[in-house]
Chain A
Amino acid sequence: GAGVSQSPRYKVAKRGQDVALRCDPISGHVSLFWYQQALGQGPEFLTYFQNEAQLDKSGLPSDRFFAERPEGSVSTLKIQRTQQEDSAVYLCASSLGGTSGLYEQYFGPGTRLTVT
């Protein structure tokens, strides 16, 4: 079956612009995660959803970052008034989670955001 997909794959934004990054998780996966990966670093946790509920947003770096998953499937990560330090690859992952006892996370290809 299809894996996790993300769009756009590349996004260039001028400083101050708003951006929206989309994630389509694996069908049936309850849990959805967003991570931020800076150049040469490992991914860092941003936020987590179980179905449509955002259960942890402790990793969001500022109130300019906002994520939603209104119907418990597709998720959008929005960054308002982008800054140069927001330049990174934004990775989405999903897992079966919930009561399945299966927690392995499968990642999408990422969206590379460059803020100029």
Chain B
Amino acid sequence: QKEVEQDPGPLSVPEGAIVSLNCTYSNSAFQYFMWYRQYSRKGPELLMYTYSSGNKEDGRFTAQVDKSSKYISLFIRDSQPSDSATYLCAMSTIIQGAQKLVFGQGTRLTINP
């Protein structure tokens, strides 16, 4: 079993819909939780960065972390075709002053105009 599980999709929704993306994990030591967006043939782009449990909002994006359930979510409101990409969750602890990120498989999302 992988440390971080993420449904690879693909997920296809109409423009304007609310999108929910999720990951589960098994390592209770994880303290830092991230969401990256990756367009085709590009590097991952950091979207959201959170520490421990709770919610964080940034524009149309909301990240939620539930450490008791080992479950994290990313919500995208008013989805746009430009949001079509692969979304990767990642998590880590801090060891020797750095984070060794453990990624999910990525969910491929398409927003249809």
Q: What is the interface of chain A, defined by CB distance below 8 A to chain B?
A: 4, 30-31, 33, 35, 40-45, 48, 50, 55-56, 91, 95, 97-99, 103-110, 112
Scoring B residues 84 to 111 as 1 if CB is less than 8 Å from chain A, else 0, what string do you get?
0000101000111111111111100000
A107 to B44, Cβ gap below 8 A?
Answer: yes
**Interface size class of chain B, counting residues whose CB lies under 8 Å from the partner chain:** 20 to 34
| B17 at interface by CB-CB < 8 Å | no
Q: Give every chain A residue within 8 A of B106 (Cβ-Cβ).
A: 40-42
User: Which of B6, B36, B96 has most chain A Cβ within 10 Å?
Assistant: B96
A41 and B105 form a contact (CB under 8 A): yes
Note all chain A residues with C-beta closer than 8 A to B46.
Answer: 104-107
Chain B residues in 8 Å Cβ range of A35 = 101
Is the Cβ of A42 less than 8 Å from the Cβ of B99? no
- Contacting residues, chain B, for A108 (C-beta < 8 A): 43
Q: How far is the CA of A78 from the CA of B96 in the complex (A)?
A: 24
Chain B residues proximal to chain A, CB less than 8 Å = 4, 6, 8, 32, 34, 36, 41-46, 49, 88, 90, 94-106
B98 / chain A contacts, CB cutoff of 8 Å: 31, 33, 48, 50, 55, 95, 97, 103
Task: Provide a sorted-by-A list of 28 A–B residue pairs whose CB atoms are within 8 angstroms.
Answer: A31-B98, A33-B100, A33-B101, A40-B8, A40-B105, A41-B105, A42-B88, A42-B106, A43-B88, A43-B103, A44-B103, A45-B100, A45-B102, A48-B100, A50-B96, A55-B96, A55-B98, A91-B43, A91-B44, A95-B98, A99-B97, A105-B46, A105-B99, A106-B46, A107-B36, A107-B45, A108-B43, A109-B43
Closest B residue by C-beta to A95: B98
Nearest-CB distance from B81 to chain A (Å)? 22
Query: Chain A: which residue is nearest B99 at the CB level?
Result: A103
User: Once bound together, how far apart are the Cα atoms of A97 and B94, in whole Å?
Assistant: 10
Measured in the bound complex, the distance between the Cα atoms of B41 and A90 in whole Å is 12
Min Cβ gap A52→B in Å is 14
* B101 / chain A contacts, CB cutoff of 8 Å: 33, 35, 43, 45, 105
Q: Is the pair A42, B104 in contact by a Cβ cutoff of 8 Å?
A: yes
